Amino acid sequence: MSTSLLYHTVRISGFQHQSFKYEGCNVIERVRRKRFSCYKCSSENISLFSGRIRRINCGNIMRKHFIVEVQIHRIYCRNCKCITSEKLPFLSNPKSRIATSLERSIIELRSEMSISAIANYFKLDWRTVKECEKRHLKKKFNTIKLKNVTVIGMDEIYIKSQGKEKYITIEVIAKLFFK
């Protein structure tokens, strides 16, 4: 897969194709970074130390499930004496195992499909889909403007599940357009 195809399918830039591997219905592409630099001072006067190999789920391309395999390096900057781990720009957060492009697809499909249906389609655990949706909602509703709010409603729901009992508080913020 060329670098251009890698960018236009899953929005990965700054990486170069190394090899392909097929495992059943999965296409695993091994990539490596083209250039390294310090994340603090942007210096290229660095030392690299090999680290672990990480697999990133990128969703489906045609009938194949696409996975990117990349080696994560430890970076030592000789200028600022900083030691950091390589950051992958195509992930929404450092611990994510799915690409940002797949997260966007999940969010777009979420209004049309259930969590389990999306998880089955992309061959993910349902908790991964749920966490993706929670991150999106947290970002979307991080700051709610309360300037024109006239009514705030609260309610509690009692839930008993698998021997655990708890109350969940629901808050409703409403802006009234009539008096």
Q: Does an H or E element contain 23, and which?
A: strand 15-23
Which pLDDT tens digit goes with each residue over 28-65?
Answer: 889 888 888 888 888 888 888 888 889 988 888 878 88
92 in Cβ contact with 100 (< 8 Å): yes
Per-residue pLDDT of the chain in tens (179 residues, 90 and over written 9)? 566 677 777 778 888 888 888 888 888 889 888 888 888 888 888 888 888 889 988 888 878 888 889 988 888 988 888 888 888 888 888 888 888 889 999 999 988 889 999 999 888 899 999 999 988 988 887 877 777 777 777 777 888 877 778 777 777 666 555 44
Which pLDDT value is given to residue 106?
92
Which pLDDT value is given to residue 85?
84
User: In this structure, how many other beta carbons lie within 10 angstroms of the beta carbon of residue 74?
Assistant: 14
What is the distance between the alpha carbons of residues 136 and 132, in angstroms, rounded to a whole number? 6
| Angle CA 128–133–137, to nearest 5 | 150
Which pLDDT value is given to residue 2?
60
CA dihedral 84, 89, 94, 95 (to 10 degrees): -130
